[in-house]
Amino acid sequence: MLSRNTSSPAQSNDAQSRLERQYCSVRAASTVLAAPLSDADATVQSMPDASPAKWHLAHTTWFFEAMVVAPNFSRYKLFDDRFNFLYNSYYESVGARQPRSLRGLLTRPTLEDVFAYREHVDSAMAKLFRQEPSENVLKIIELGCHHEQQHQELLLTDILHLFAQNPLRPAYQDSVPLPVELIEKARQTYKSFPGGLFDIGHDGPGFAFDSEGPRHAVRIEPYRLADRLVTNGEWAEFISDGGYGNPLLWLSDGWAKAREEGWTAPLYWEARDGEFWTMTLRGAQPIDLDAPVAHVSYFEADAFATWAQRRLPTEAEWEVAAQTLPATGNLLNSGRLRPKPAPAAAGELRQMFGDVWEWTRSAFMPYPRFRPMEGALGEYNGKFMSGQFVLRGGSCVTPEDHVRATYRNFFAPHARWQFSGLRLAEDA
């Protein structure tokens, strides 16, 4: 049975009410994102790193069932006891699971069945909220909400990769080309930051993943940070100058991966009649030369920075620069679903949040005094702190209330299907 909340009735009611609204909002948002998809769209898996949309919808539901409802309601009836195998992602301590690379073989359950599963668990969660769950249970529910928002972003990036494999180049949303925005051309400048000791990492209040803390001091040398993201036009210059064919620009593993996979441009770029086009969630469109480049790996970002005689920022440099800025920008709520050119500004950092996740040169490692969560939830982040690089700032498909200056996203250095780009830095 549920443990009881030991806070005051007023505090308990306020926390539960806020969290229940958040839960309902997040769950409804996933349904809206899935609305344009057919059962076939939601079933197919385009590569081992991507998952079917149907799996994302079911896995996020499994999280609430396995981590919240089932442990706290002794009389809860599982929707289907086989779903623990189908929709467990990587929690070794929870049991065996469908191999990640074979998720696309799950033609059954149908998409309709998955939505019935979601309704079943949502109904149980509504009952749970009426039972004054403990503070610890509320924290797991809050984690589950942010976990589902992560999968909302993955659902969109995975659908984009899937549709890019289709010769018809289908559009997830309206395929009409977006209007060209008449803005002043965003000339790149650099903003200087002093060296010294700075605190980074989450210290509350508000939600953060365990990997965002503890807050701690870091020493930074004086540096300069580009006031905007690298653009498609600048990347086209890199291509024209032979950037993909010059081994002196590349890390050894990156050069090997680029040769192995035949990289000659960012993922989704293709040449048509003398210009580059790219696949977007709005279908295939000509690249916007003034918009941020996207879908490049860490290896490509590092090679570009070397070519530009700059470097990538460290995650500490990025966070120190972003700490006092509002976490607003071209995020999922804009409805654009692709990066946009930087706004005109004088001497201010632009595009720090939204548009594309920004590669840093920092490995995803634990902060000093980091301790993973107890139990199965300890597998959430800590087990991935090897062989990954940190990205910061969110993208055009990141939910608007899901990003903050301390947020540490991470991917393997060869990953390209995410909305990942870069901002240049240099020593002062």
Collect all residues with Cβ–Cβ distance below 8 Å to 106 and sequence separation of at least 6.
43, 52, 54, 55, 86, 98
Is the domain of 224 the same as that of 358? yes
Q: Look up residue 320 and give its amino acid.
A: V
Please report, rounded to a whole number, the percentage of residues in the chain having pLDDT higher than 90: 83
Give yes or no for residue 5 having a pLDDT over 50: no
Is the domain of 149 the same as that of 208? no
Asked if residue 26 belongs to a domain, the reply is yes
Is the domain of 260 the same as that of 399? yes
When divided into structural domains, the chain yields a total of: 2
Position 184 confidence tier, pLDDT thresholds 50, 70, 90: low
Position 375 scores a pLDDT of 77
Higher-confidence residue of 175 and 265: namely: 265
- CATH number, domain of 47, equals 1.20.120
Q: Look up residue 231 and give its amino acid.
A: T
Is the domain of 69 the same as that of 204? no
- Distance between CA 400 and CA 116 in Å, rounded? 27
- Distance between CA 372 and CA 395 in Å, rounded? 26
Is the domain of 305 the same as that of 356? yes
Sign of the C-alpha dihedral, residues 300, 397, 313, 215?
A: negative
Is the domain of 237 the same as that of 309? yes
Asked if residue 181 belongs to a domain, the reply is no
Task: Average the pLDDT over 124-152 and give the result.
Answer: 94
Position 177 scores a pLDDT of 64
**pLDDT, tens only, 108-133:** 999 999 999 999 999 999 999 998 89
Is the domain of 286 the same as that of 409? yes
Give yes or no for residue 413 having a pLDDT over 80: yes
What's the pTM? Answer: 0.94
Is the domain of 197 the same as that of 304? yes
DSSP lists the bridge partners of residue 277 as 270, 286
Asked if residue 176 belongs to a domain, the reply is no
SS3 203: coil
Is the domain of 243 the same as that of 336? yes
Position 344 confidence tier, pLDDT thresholds 50, 70, 90: confident
Give yes or no for residue 75 having a pLDDT over 50: yes
Q: Which domain holds residue 38?
A: 9-164
Position 2 confidence tier, pLDDT thresholds 50, 70, 90: very low
Is the domain of 416 the same as that of 273? yes
